[in-house]
Amino acid sequence: MKKTFKLNLEGKNRDRVLEAVKHEIRKYVARERRRDLPKGVDFWDFDCKFGLSAESAEVVHFATITEHINAVAEGVGEQFYLEILAKHGVRQSRPPSETDIATDA
């Protein structure tokens, strides 16, 4: 999904538009996560970019998208650009921490 979302639409309440945008993003993510996983892949991960325009978009973590959207909405921004691309995710084994080593002894 590569899209510029406008928050001020003629005849629409800004808060309702904001909620509709968030709903559209959640629907897209849910649809992508339902796709079949290729062999050797554990989950769908997402590469995300966020900015006021496509040219100024910066890489952000997927979990912080809503915070960024709310910041633009509170700052009376007119629009924002969001890019979410699905990618293959493979689970990494976590290295043992000091507490794990202490409990094993």
Show me where the domains of the chain are located.
Answer: 2-104
Section 24-28 average pLDDT: 97
For residue 82, what are its two tokens? Answer: 């969001």
Residue 41 confidence (pLDDT) = 92
Rounded Cα distance between 103 and 105, Å, is: 6
Query: Residue 105: its pLDDT value, please?
Result: 54
pLDDT at 54: 95
pLDDT category at 104 given cuts 50, 70, 90 is: low
**Mean pLDDT for the stretch of residues 45-66:** 96
Distance of alpha carbon 41 from the chain centroid = 20
Q: What is residue 93's predicted lDDT score, i.e. its pLDDT?
A: 83
**The pLDDT of residue 90:** 87
